[in-house]
Amino acid sequence: MAVQTALTDRVEDLDVGGAAASLDLQIGPPKGPRRRITGAAGDGEYPLVSVIVPTINEARNLPLVLAEIPDAVHEVLIVDGRSTDGTPEAARSAYPSARIMTQEGRGKGDALRCGFEAATGDILVMMDADGSADPAEIPRFVEVLLGGADFAKGTRFCHGGGSADITPLRSAGNAALSTTVNVLFGTSYSDLCYGFNAFWRHCLPAIDVDCTGFEVETLINIRVARAELTVREVPSYERPRIHGESNLRTFRDGGRVLRTILRERLRPAERPPVLHRRRLPYNLGVGLTGETA
C-alpha cells in the first residue's frame, strides 16, 4: 500500500463533492460545538472533530496543551488512567467543556479504545497529553482527510517533520520496526510509533483496538493498511515533553510492538470491512466563521 505525504500546512483548491475550495482554520480558545463554513463555494457544515487525549498524571502539562486546542474542535475527550495528581480536575479547570472519563482498564491502548467509543465526531484525532504534540497542527491533519484520505498518519521522519524529544536509541528502534512492517505488510511508513493521528469515523471497524499498551499505534497502522484504507502521512514536529517523565519504556514497549507486528502478520486475512464513508457532502468555503449550526 502506497502511503502519500502531505507537505504543506494548507490545501489549496480542494475538490470535495465537486466544489473547489480553500480551507483556512483559525486557532484560538474553544468557541462552540459545531462550526459553519461560508464563502465562494457556498454554505456547508464543517465536520465535527473529536480530540481524544489519554492521560495519567499529567496535571502540570494538560492545561498548557488544552490552551492550544484549535477553535474548530467539536469536543475534547480526556480519558484518564486513574491519575493521582489531580489531572481530571486540572483538565476541567483549563477546558470546562471537556468530556472527562476514567478508562475501564489500564494502558494507552485501552484509554484510546474508550475514547474512540465515546467520541461523537465525524473525525477523530488522537494525541498525547505531555505537550509533545502540537495541537496547532490539527488543521493540517483535518485538511488531509478532507482532501480524500481515510487516515492521516503523523510522521516525524519526512520533510517538514522532526523531533526534539526522541532519543537515538528509540529512533533506531522505530526505524527497524517501521522497516519490518513495510516488508511484511507492503506499506511505506516512515514513522511507525508516533501517536499523533487523525481519521474518519468510518475507520473504527477496521481499527478495532484490542491491545492495552504503547503498541496501539502500531496495531492501528497495520490494521488500516490491511483494510486497504487510504493513508497519507502528515509531517509533524514532536516537541519536548513539558514536565515529568514519559511512561514509555524503550525495551519493554519495543518488545510489545514487535509481538504485535508478528501477531498481526499471523492473523488470518479477512475481507476488508464494509466502510460507510461520510466524507461528503462537506461543502468547503473560504474561511471559518463563528456561526454555530
Task: Say what the pLDDT of residue 173 is.
Answer: 86
- For residues 190 and 239, what is the distance between their CA atoms, to the nearest angstrom? 18
Are the beta carbons of 75 and 33 closer than 8 angstroms? yes
- For residues 256 and 264, what is the distance between their CA atoms, to the nearest angstrom? 12
* Overall average pLDDT of the 224-246 stretch: 90
Q: What is the dihedral of CA 132, 137, 138, 140, to 10 degrees?
A: -150
pLDDT digits 0-9 by tens, 72-110 = 899 999 999 999 999 999 999 999 999 999 998 999 999
Contacts of 96 (CB under 8 A, 6+ apart): none
Task: Say what the pLDDT of residue 46 is.
Answer: 80
Are the beta carbons of 192 and 221 closer than 8 angstroms? yes
From the list 9, 14, 17, 72, the residue with the least C-alpha distance to 289 is 72
* Overall average pLDDT of the 161-179 stretch: 87
Amino acid at the residue 69: I
**Is 100 in a helix, a strand, or coil?**
strand
Q: What is the pTM for the complete model shown?
A: 0.79
Q: How far is CA 209 from the centre of its chain?
A: 14
